[in-house]
A and B are shown apart, each in its own frame.
Chain A
Amino acid sequence: DAKTTQPPSMDCAEGRAANLPCNHSTISGNEYVYWYRQIHSQGPQYIIHGLKNNETNEMASLIITEDRKSSTLILPHATLRDTAVYYCTSNDYKLSFGAGTTVTVRA
């Protein structure tokens, strides 16, 4: 069973920041939080991961709350190609997925 919960859908305007929330209140202290996205009919793509500290890479930023019960993925300047299903998960040995958030970026 997935240990994370996410809103089912979100719309975002092109060029604006997209903030995707995820609740993971039951993950253990040594489990990383991972974010992936899946564009239609493709395999999931790794975005970013983190344990305690906030992280940033060329794709996104990850903000993890101090109590590690939730996190936010930030796409700083959303483009139409960012339209996808975004999954937040943890790396307990078997990587399981919840329903994810369907993000639609609109022009």
Chain B
Amino acid sequence: GAVVSQHPSRVICKSGTSVKIECRSLDFQATTMFWYRQFPKQSLMLMATSNEGSKATYEQGVEKDKFLINHASLTLSTLTVTSAHPEDSSFYICSAKEGQHHYGYTFGSGTRLTVV
């Protein structure tokens, strides 16, 4: 089945620094990937849609200059949290869709970001 690898699984960074999260489709090509954020006891909130070779589409209220998305290849999308603050601490999850419908959307295992 389709596999999406997300790295790192956990990261702690200092306020004001930037953190990059990688999302890779391991055995399929994904022209579109999605980035979500999840706060404790809440549902997944879609942040942006990452399109290979073009600019990402951000959801309303998500700062594109703060959450930089790059989708340079058909198997890799990255999310960079710039100038991180404690309120950016959250669980970040990516997903991608294989061409066939069979497995639907495959999600990465998530990245726990803690900003101190």
A residues apposed to B, CB below 8 Å = 32, 34, 36, 38, 41-46, 49, 85, 87, 91, 94-100
Instruction: Please determine whether B110 and A94 come into contact, CB atoms closer than 8 angstroms.
Output: no
Closest to A47 in B: B104
Q: How far is the CA of A43 from the CA of B112 in the complex (A)?
A: 11
Contact status of A45 and B43, CB under 8 A, knowing A32-B101, A94-B49 = no
Separation in Å of the A57 CB from the closest CB of chain B?
10
Instruction: Please determine whether A44 and B43 come into contact, CB atoms closer than 8 angstroms.
Output: no
> Which one of A44, A94, A98, A100 lies within 8 Å of B93 (CB-CB)?
A44
Number of A-B residue pairs, CB cutoff 8 Å, is 53
Question: How many residues from B make CB contacts under 8 Å with A?
Answer: 22
Q: List 9 A-B contacts (CB under 8 A).
A: A36-B104, A42-B109, A42-B110, A43-B107, A87-B44, A95-B95, A97-B36, A97-B43, A100-B43
B residues apposed to A, CB below 8 Å = 4, 6, 34, 36, 43-46, 49, 91, 93, 95, 101, 103-110, 112
Q: How far is the CA of A37 from the CA of B107 in the complex (A)?
A: 11
Q: Which residues of B contact A36 (CB under 8 A)?
A: 104, 107
Q: Which residues of B contact A38 (CB under 8 A)?
A: 44
